A = this chain, B = another copy of it.
Amino acid sequence: MTDFEATRAMFHLPEGVIYLDGNSLGPRPLTALARVQRMLADEWGDMLITGWNRAGWMDQPARMGDRIARLIGAEAGHVVLGDTLSIKVYQALASALEMVPDRRVIMSDTGNFPSDLYMADGLCRTLGQGYTLRTVPPEEVADAIDETTAVLMLTEVDYRTGRRHDMPALTARAHAAGALAIWDLAHSAGATDVHVADGHADFAVGCTYKYLNAGPGGPAFIYVAPRHADSARPALSGWLGHEAPFAFDQDYRPGTGIERMRVGTPPVIQIAALDAALDIWDGVAITDVRARSLELTDAFIAGVERACPDLELATPRDHAARGSQVSFRHPDGYAIMQALIARGVIGDFRAPDILRFGFTPLFIGMAEVDAACAVIAEVMAGRLWDRPEYLTRGRVT
């Protein structure tokens, strides 16, 4: 059994704060300070250029990829780190489209994270030739997949509602129609029991700064199924994805397997923080995380609904259809969230009316759920958000 008291003690959590925003930015692992310090002082400072070999910087994207692979049910050797999630979406999509050359439609849903849709749209414009992005409401995706669909591109867990798609079923549906499936795990990795291999995903991408706690701007990752690893052609054909980057050949030859999905120089300082964050996961079973997450979100839903009839649940009650966050709708959602933050309950707001609360079992337990419910009840009962200082829109990611 995973010891969640132990994992909780591995994070810096400021006094007086109940942090329900680990789904946007995870908190700092205590060891990240020393790990990054060591990288800066002993590696960059003293090894200088030789750090690429001696400190293993060059191999970190694959090593970290393997550590993440375990958490998303991927085969070892088939995940690599790099770039931002938007870039990885583009990369997966460009490769996938080339593998289904006779079709022109990218199918996605209206609940997908906008950047995924924007990147797809940009790629369609670049490709021309009739490529289009088609979006339907999340619940209509299964029926919308047809013989024109080249690629199904979905985010498993909806960033607003926390609704979770059925990855194996939708992937099977895509495959049956002759399409490929790309899964964005932004709100899944480290939060739910993802199984990209068992789910037969063709590509998967994700970020490390949410439930994996790598810190702001932590690099993204990409998974390519072993069956495609040596045939997927990278559109973003950077030198570190070359078969022999240090031969400095004029012509691009893709590297072996997942290595070809590397592009440029890895962000070594960010990776040091990620490395510290992944240490915490060494003692953690993702099945325990999933079970605990459902307990916490169940309790939170029950607690808020009991006290706050004005908040409308936006997250599915069905466990199978829920990620690790709970969202409520309210027309004054923005101001309500400001009032909560002022009282130490940190969630976030997503336009137009979503209050979003993330539950990360590594550092959130039942005591925080109860305390958060009490604060929310107090704010709602007293209409404490109805003050000028809470009504001004700010910008929070």
Contacts and interface: CB of A to CB of B under 8 A. Distances in A.
A397 B215 contact: no
A33 B394 CA distance: 31
Nearest to A41: B33
Contacts of A179: none
Nearest to A276: B40
Contacts of A392: none
A115 B268 contact: no
B85 A264 contact: yes
Interface in A205-222: 207, 209, 215-220
A303 interface: no
Given A239-B114, A346-B49, A40 B273 contact: yes
B215 A265 contact: no
Interface stretch (A86-94, A138-146, A289-297, A322-330): A86-94
Interface in A68-97: 83-87, 90, 94
A110 B267 contact: no
A11 B394 CA distance: 39
Interface stretch (A248-256, A308-316, A367-375): A248-256
Contacts of A239: 86, 113-115, 118
Contacts of A264: 83-87, 115, 220
Contacts of A207: 265
A247 B118 CA distance: 13
Among A32, A114, A118, A236, max chain B CB count under 10 A is at A118
A387 interface: no
A193 interface: no
A131 to B, nearest CB: 11
Contacts of A90: 236
Closest 10 CB pairs of A and B: A84-B264, A115-B239, A122-B237, A217-B267, A216-B268, A86-B238, A86-B264, A118-B252, A217-B268, A28-B45
Given A12-B45, A114-B252, A219-B267, 6 more contacts: A21-B49, A51-B216, A53-B396, A84-B264, A118-B252, A216-B266
24 contacts: A12-B41, A12-B45, A14-B45, A21-B49, A25-B48, A27-B45, A27-B48, A36-B36, A49-B346, A85-B264, A87-B236, A110-B250, A114-B249, A117-B250, A119-B236, A123-B126, A215-B269, A216-B265, A217-B271, A220-B264, A246-B395, A246-B397, A265-B397, A267-B267
Interface of A: 12, 14, 17, 19, 21, 24-25, 27-28, 32-33, 36-37, 40-41, 44-46, 48-53, 57-58, 83-87, 90, 94, 110, 113-115, 117-119, 121-123, 125-129, 135, 160, 207, 209, 215-220, 233-240, 242, 246-252, 263-271, 273, 341, 346, 348, 350-351, 394-397
